[in-house]
Amino acid sequence: MYALVDAVSYYASAEKVFDPSIRNKPVVVLTNNDGCICAVDPIARKLGIPKFIPYFQIKNFLVKHNVVVRSSNYELYADLSERMMNVVGRFCDNQYVYSIDESFLHFKNYNSLIKDWHQYGHKIRRAVWRETRLPVGVGFGTTPTLAKAANHAAKKLDGYNGVAVINDDRSRKEILDKMSLTDVWGIGTKLGKRLNILGINTAWELANQSPKAMRSQFSVLVERTVNELNGIACLNWDEVRQDKKEIFSTRSFGQRVVDYNALKAAITSHGCIVARKVRKQRSLIKRLLVFASSSPHDDNYYKKSLIYEFPVATDNTLKIAAAISFIFDEIFLDGVNFYRCGAGAIELENCQFHQHDMFNVSVNNPELMQCYDHINNRYGNGVIEVAAAGQREKWEMRRSFLSPGYTSKWADIPKIIC
């Protein structure tokens, strides 16, 4: 048996944990730079507020309905996520943390121990609520994809109340019948439309397709999904998340940038973030894309992007900063109001299977980078930084509605009235 446990509108729920004054109010959370709405709590959902709508478009509506607006407080979400995962992990010896608010559990040989999965699901829910004040949904299924489907039912379908179990044909049909295609794990909007054309509209209809036919018409991934929907487990943790093929760090500026050094610092800083992520998945950068642009709504829209190819693939932050510095003059143009910039590793090599070059010496410095990452992990990101990444102020994320760092800053710990 598999389970998927995830939080109900995680970011919005996390905002309520240490702020009891908003527990019963509608809450929405905004993305980076307060651009769009990325989380809508169940109370706000009842007001009909959609996800991913630009904030400025719905601002007046939010004011009118007294909706609480928050910027993304990643420090808080990271801390609460860890707590939640630890509590969930107590309920199974095989846990796979899939994202900031989702984790899979794989129960092997538990059938003699757990008679009632519903009850067990509610036990998990109660424990997480009690110890972290986060509401979670629990879905059980005989494969990861069915667990994910049950989780969807637990949270979105009437009558499930936070826990759903798919452990026989009846429960499987009941839930899959009510699920649209794109609610199935691994079926995106595009794929969903192509399947719709074939007359496949629900998860149950997809489950009844021939896996072989799906493979020849679409891909091995769709074949796998069909098998998983029929109770044949095909996914394991390693396949659930593969290494990323590309890693980008990019963002629009809180306020426009015209200064040469400021833009250079911003791009370098994005390069450093990419380098850190690349090291984390033990890859090396072969080709790096660097770009900057004004806004497409501006007159004389300006956009320039360049690719730097490293002679030998590297994960060395210093070399990446040097590469950016090397090509930066070709990107910068005097007089442009820069709105957006970024860097992205577009060709990665695996650290383990790295092909050495006879003529070019590796420029990596694993000891230095390890030390650099250790310091930043221990004392907080940005504690040490390459000088070229400069100071952050001007282009740092706009977070006008940021809640306090209740669990990460002493000055922000919650006040308790005596």
Partner 1 sequence: MKFIPILIQAGISGFESPAAEYKELGLSLDKLLISNPDATFFGLAQGESMVEAGIFDGDLLLVDRSEEVKDGDVIVANYNGCFTCKYIDKKYARLLSASPKYLPVSISPEDEFQLEGVVTCSFRLHRKLRELLACMH
CB of 262 to partner 1, least distance (A): 29
Q: Which helix (H) or strand (E) holds 119?
A: helix 117-132
CB of 408 to partner 1, least distance (A): 11
Q: Where would I find the beta strands (DSSP E) of 218-282?
A: 247-257
66 is an interface residue for partner 1 by CB under 8 A: no
Question: Binding marks (x or -) toward partner 1, 17..36, rule CB under 8 A?
Answer: -x-xxxxx------------
> How far apart, in whole angstroms, are the C-alpha atoms of residue 16 and residue 19?
5
Residues 273-332 interacting with partner 1 (rule: CB under 8 A): none
Gap between the Cα atoms of 412 and 238, Å rounded? 39
Judged by CB under 8 A, which stretch of 15-23, 43-51, 68-76, 219-227 contacts partner 1?
Answer: 15-23
- Are 71 and 399 in contact by the 8 Å Cβ rule? The answer is yes
Contact between 335 and 258 (Cβ < 8 Å):
yes
Interface with partner 1 in residues 85-124 (CB under 8 A):
86-87
337 CB contacts (<8 Å, ≥6 apart)?
256, 257, 258, 294, 295, 298
Residue 311 tokens, joined: 């002679």
Considering the rule CB under 8 A, would residue 415 count as an interface residue with partner 1?
yes
Determine, following the binding rule CB under 8 A, whether residue 387 of this chain makes contact with partner 1: no
Q: Does 407 sit near partner 1 (CB under 8 A)?
A: yes
Min dist CB 126 to partner 1, Å, is 11
The whole-angstrom separation of Cα 263 and Cα 265 is 5
Cα–Cα distances in Å, from 1 out to 87, 95, 110, 125?
Answer: 19, 12, 8, 18
Distance in Å, CB of 379 to partner 1, minimum: 14
- Applying CB under 8 A, which of residues 64, 130, 190, 356 lies at the interface with partner 1? 130
Taking CB under 8 A as the criterion, the residue among 133, 178, 194, 304 binding partner 1 is 133
Q: Which is nearer to partner 1, 86 or 111 (CB)?
A: 86
Report the residue number, 387 or 411, with the smaller CB distance to partner 1.
411
CA distance 141 to 3: 6
Task: Choose one: 16-24, 34-42, 229-237, 303-311; the region binding partner 1 (CB under 8 A).
Answer: 16-24
Binding site for partner 1 (CB under 8 A): 18, 20-24, 82-83, 86-87, 130-133, 406-407, 410-418
